[in-house]
Structure 1
């Protein structure tokens, strides 16, 4: 009797769920990864057509890796995951819809460009773009190597793969609204042209361990760019000169290792958030604010550069440094609402061997 009651209750719950309209069920599916959504559609006739009606798709190659994720991710795991990802893209973007109308989608895609899969994925994306079913692509090209393990040859090879992928399917690069790259050296390619001139719809750009050759300067002159977010992490750039990015709102540089002032800002009237993190060591000579400032021109004219800044983060500041120099930034950025300063070490451990290795005998930013 109790068993029958349980079965009856289970059936009622299933019927109640099946009675929900498509938009509610789509909202539920939109909160799970695509692998789960595909499995759901396979076990229920009521849910069978729903994944093909999703307007926002997130397809992450790591969802197709074994669980728990192997660390490190071996080549055979990448290959198997990319095979499943390619099958999912072909199914979701290439299958005929239940309805006659074409559904315009936004796709967030994370993948490995290994073993020739770029030749399979690229045409599928290009076809979806050509039919109008895909107009917004947020693409992350992943690489499992840690920056410290990447040689110049590895980074040049990764750049060649990225360039080949976009060159073979130019419609893909024109559709990009977001792009994330790991371990790419553009020493033999025009970084400005590939990432900004060609990506005319790009609004978010994330670069990890990417450069143009060791300590080369990257000058960004893109008055027509739609770029709103630029995040740079562990990139060996000699300097980043943002000459003109009129719609840039957020700029984050995490872990510059160049020996001089790393950043120069020009026309950035929309900038509201600036975050700089520096892993300085004993070879870093520092710079005087008045001699080599990353914001030019100085003084009252800084107001034009930082007039809309709402959030300012300065991290890993040595505890003995005189922080009065930050007043220059605060006086210029009168609209700052969030000001974050993080000290590199605790007062109790100032005089340690680790401190001397990181800062030598310097006790202030002026010495």
Structure 2
């Protein structure tokens, strides 16, 4: 066999630099943007390539400076240079497919940022265009109230209508709005798909956030540590995913109006003394009947929902629910109350429970008292569709084994049970009584399986991992 011809290099070129532009761009797009720009700065062969990137992620945190002004100047300058195009003879105009900007809410620079990207996004070739506004560290700027920051942001949205018209993603942190700001903001973002609010609120604080956007394209909403008295989703017809974590209001935190496409909901909070448990029927309605995945995270504190007195009242609402997760249940809590979901969700196929026992979580002074949840399933309950039960944080104790046996008895179509331990990377805690790979021998696994299947004709497959 003949050997391949020798690889020919130009003078001063290395083997990688000899590759064609499209392959080099493929390499640069897999790097952090800062590294890609540095690569272009050290070689004349690579110099024009950063201006040809189709995916740009600029983060103000990657820029250095002694003051907020210097950092923001550097960020705006880099944004302008990268969007201005290359100085070489290009066969075709570059189309930027992804443009994500993370920057400070620095009033003098907001208009410069908005106008710098308008020519690019208005071409209609950018598929993903996102703003993420973050709060500078206190050493960079004097304290600015969240109310003033909210006013600056709304002025930004009015001054740069073209940019906001093409936004597909918007993430905001530590802002306070007036109740009439949100209709204006959502109306200005014709193509918005994802909206994320962190530590945001309204003036006055007692006001509820109402999102009534029947013509919006929003598919994802995220609320984290927000201080709205309630989040009222009056009409968000395209919404498919929602996350609401650590709300600072009384319960219930949410009320779903017209959300016919909603499929996935994650709700997480450590309950405070002034947040009494609430029924899920206080949040969900017939407009959420396409919901398929629901996750409730209790943060190892009080269970902040109460089972419905008549769970079948939820059947029409949860008629398409297939995946249910109860996360971070404190281990002293009885588990029987979770079975209300079997009565409420006839199509349920997967049930996951996570019991957590570790010391690193801590509790605040106003944490609600942990109390047991008392509820008994109907004696004639038979569930036909449940196929998988997963328990993380399994412990070999009567309370737990009895619960699993009840599920096996009531879920007549159950195929598999998976039992696992819980470990915490923060405090290295582990459920010492749980069956883990290192401490559970075959005899122990056999004993656990025997306890679960004693007197039962079930053929369910039990996996201990």
Common topology (TM > 0.5): yes
Q: How does 1:50-199 map to 2 (within 5 A)?
A: 50-65=49-64, 76-96=66-86, 98-99=89-90, 101-105=92-96, 106-114=98-106, 116-131=108-123, 134=126, 136-144=128-136, 154-187=145-178, 189-194=180-185, 196-199=186-189
Larger RCO (CA under 8 A, 6+ residues apart): 1
Contact 1:33–1:63, Cα closer than 8 Å, also in 2: no
Local SS of the residue matching 2:15: helix
Shift of 1:271: 2.6
Structure 1 pair 357/175, CA: closer, same or farther in 2 (3 Å)?
A: closer
Deviation, structure 1 residue 109:
0.7
In 1, Cα distance between equivalents of 2:337 and 2:184: 37
1:234 offset after TM fit, Å? 0.2
- Aligned equivalents of 1:113, 1:356: Cα separation in 2: 33
Displacement of 1:247 in angstroms is 2.4
Contact 2:147-2:176 within 8 A present in 1 as well = yes
Q: Which moved more, 1:225-234 or 1:314-323?
A: 314-323
Structure 1 residue 138 displacement after superposition:
0.9
Contact 2:103/2:134 (CA < 8 Å) preserved in 1?
A: yes
Among 267, 279, 283, the alignment partner of 1:294 is 283
Checking the alignment, whether the CA contact within 8 Å between 1:276 and 1:313 is kept in structure 2 is no
Say if 2:268 is the partner of 1:277: yes
User: Is residue 358 from structure 1 mapped to residue 367 from structure 2 by the alignment?
Assistant: yes
| Aligned counterpart, 1:30 | 29
Aligned-pair distance for 1:143?
0.8
Note the C-alpha offset of 1:40. Answer: 1.1
1:237-276 map, 5 Å: 237-276=228-267
Larger gyration radius, structure 1 or structure 2: 2
Q: How many residues align?
A: 336
Quote how far apart the aligned CAs of 1:324 are: 4.4
Q: Is the 8 A contact 2:52 2:86 kept in 1?
A: no
Alpha-carbon deviations, 1:337-367, whole Å to 9, x = none? 6655444656xx8xxx96996333744379x
TM normalised by structure 2 equals 0.63
TM superposition shift of 1:327: 3.8
Structure with the higher fraction of residues in helix conformation: 1
What is the TM-score with the length of structure 1 in the denominator? 0.78
Identify if the C-alpha distance between structure 1 residues 361 and 251 changes in structure 2 by more than 3 Å, giving closer, same or farther: closer
Q: Unpaired segments of 5 or more residues in structure 2?
A: 1-8, 287-307, 376-465
